[in-house]
């Protein structure tokens, strides 16, 4: 994952970086904002099969509270978020993933 | 119309090996009777449940891949609901999903090959080639291993 950051400098999604510098200037004392461009993990890693049995993969999209991580946070594209959702819901039915955790 | 289904059922943790074998025999009998085939069976063994189901905290997971009609699976579903030993089960139709996965995979390799050939490159990605290799290289060994594990598992 570190690679993304270094890759950003050499060309690729420069959007985050340029914006960050100007914002730093405006806001004065605030910590500089570095926002890494979010990429859909399934697109980037070319994962075709989102399977309900692959708990290791699914769990990375189910944070502690056991709710499905929203797209605005994970950066997953719409198509993959839909597939991810069905997979997680199936895994929940057979108690591989929790519905909630209090 | 024969379709491919996956059946996952969770048997109670108190079930003995004999009982599990009997359960498997029952399912096999239904499959045989209604003209389907039991393609493979995977025993995941005892796993911790993510939440408590009827005082059980663990369960014996079994995965069956069944080829057969919808009626067959309906019957299996009905039977499993009745059997008390089975605390949870799930039937998923997989043939269509597998086809889609296969399709996207072949289409991607084909387009990448075509584009690479159009650019006058060899069709396969060479080691140490730009962009993605940069992304691959600076992950450490353990991370790479983890990724391959998962790919094997699928």
What 8-state DSSP symbol labels residue B84?
Answer: T
pLDDT score at B2: 87
Q: Are B66 and B36 in contact (CB under 8 A)?
A: yes
Which domains are delineated in chain A?
1-37 (no CATH), 38-102 (4.10.640.10)
Task: List strands edge to edge, sheet with B37-53.
Answer: B37-53, B56-68, B3-11, B86-93
From chain B, the residues in CB contact with A61 under 8 A are none
From chain B, the residues in CB contact with A9 under 8 A are none
A79 touches chain B (CB under 8 A): no
Which domains are delineated in chain B?
3-94 (3.30.70.60)
A2-15: average pLDDT: 41
- On the 0-12 / 13-18 / 19+ scale of CB atoms within 10 A, A88 is buried
Residue of A3, A9, A65, A94 to mutate, interface with B, max B Cβ within 10 Å: A94
pLDDT score at B122: 83
Is residue B8 pLDDT above 90, yes or no?
yes
pLDDT score at B130: 61
* pLDDT, tens digit, 9 for 90 and up, residues B30-67: 999 999 999 999 999 999 999 999 889 999 999 999 99
Q: Are B62 and B43 in contact (CB under 8 A)?
A: yes
Output B97 or A1, whichever has higher pLDDT: B97
C-alpha angle B12-B15-B17 in degrees, rounded to nearest 5: 135
Is residue B22 pLDDT above 90, yes or no?
yes
Mean pLDDT of all residues belonging to chain B: 84
Q: Give DSSP secondary structure letters for B43-74.
A: EEEEEEEEEEETTEEEEEEEEEEEEE-HHHHH
Q: Are A24 and A32 in contact (CB under 8 A)?
A: yes
Mean pLDDT of all residues belonging to chain A: 76
pLDDT score at B120: 85
3-class state of residue B141 by DSSP: helix
* pLDDT, tens digit, 9 for 90 and up, residues B135-148: 444 444 444 444 44
* pLDDT, tens digit, 9 for 90 and up, residues A43-78: 988 888 899 999 999 999 999 999 999 999 999 999
- On the 0-12 / 13-18 / 19+ scale of CB atoms within 10 A, A66 is middle
Q: Tell me the count of A-B CB pairs closer than 8 A.
A: 60
Residue of B51, B57, B95, B110 to mutate, interface with A, max A Cβ within 10 Å: B51
Nearest to B139 among A3, A51, A52 (CB): A3
pLDDT score at B128: 72
* pLDDT, tens digit, 9 for 90 and up, residues B60-104: 999 999 999 999 999 999 999 999 999 999 999 999 999 999 999
Q: Which of B139, B140, B112 is nearest to B126 (CA)?
A: B112
User: CA-CA distance, A23 to B142, in Å (whole number)?
Assistant: 37
pLDDT score at A28: 54
For chain B, percent of residues with pLDDT exceeding 90: 66
A31 touches chain B (CB under 8 A): no
B122-129: average pLDDT: 78
């Amino acid at each position: 994952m570190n690679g993304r950051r270094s890759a950003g400098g050499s060309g690729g999604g420069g959007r985050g970086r340029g914006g960050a510098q100007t914002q730093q200037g405006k806001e004065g004392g605030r910590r500089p904002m570095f926002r890494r461009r979010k990429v859909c993990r399934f697109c980037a890693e070319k994962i075709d099969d989102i399977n309900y049995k692959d708990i290791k993969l699914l769990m990375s999209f189910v944070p502690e509270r056991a709710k499905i991580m929203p797209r605005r946070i994970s950066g997953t594209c719409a198509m993959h978020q839909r597939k991810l959702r069905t997979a997680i819901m199936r895994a929940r039915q057979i108690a591989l993933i929790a519905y909630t955790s209090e | 119309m024969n379709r491919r289904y996956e059946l996952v059922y969770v048997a109670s943790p108190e079930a003995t090996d004999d009982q599990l074998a009997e359960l498997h025999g029952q399912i096999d009998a239904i499959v045989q009777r209604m003209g389907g085939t039991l393609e493979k069976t995977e025993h995941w063994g005892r796993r911790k449940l993510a939440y408590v189901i009827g005082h059980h905290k663990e369960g014996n997971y079994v995965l069956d891949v069944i080829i057969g009609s919808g009626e067959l699976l309906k019957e299996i579903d009905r039977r499993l609901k009745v059997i008390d030993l089975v605390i949870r089960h799930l039937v998923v139709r997989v043939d269509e999903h597998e086809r889609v996965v296969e399709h996207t995979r072949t289409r991607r390799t084909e387009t990448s090959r075509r584009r690479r050939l159009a650019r006058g490159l060899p069709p396969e990605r060479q080691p140490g080639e730009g962009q993605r290799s940069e992304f691959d290289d600076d992950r450490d060994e353990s991370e790479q291993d983890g990724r391959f594990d998962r790919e094997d598992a699928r």
